Amino acid sequence: MTIRDVLFELAVLAVCSNVVILILIMAALDRRGHKTNMLVARLCPWKYLAAYKEATRKETGKTGPLYGLWIFTINLTLAAALAGFLSPIT
């Protein structure tokens, strides 16, 4: 197993966790009375991220933890995929 394979597997795991986090964000918004739609979430997840950030800031004064996790996992996906593409083939 090469470093390239490890990086691509890390990217796939990060994408999967990103999807799970988005579903959890949508569930949290549903509990707060905000209607969600899976198709819209696939096309523009930023709509629900912004709504979650706003809702949690109104309730607690801080951004909810799922927002930071979503940002972290999407950045991890991009970084791992880019590093995988740039790593030498051996």
Q: Domain tally for the chain?
A: 1
DSSP string, 9-34: HHHHHHHHHHHHHHHHHHHHHHHTT-
pLDDT for 90: 65
pLDDT for 25: 96
Q: What is the pLDDT of residues 27-72, one digit of tens each?
A: 999 999 999 988 888 899 999 999 999 999 999 999 999 999 999 9
pLDDT for 88: 84
Give the mean model confidence (pLDDT) for residues 1-15. Answer: 94
Radius of gyration of the chain (CA): 16
**Domain boundaries, position 47:** 3-86
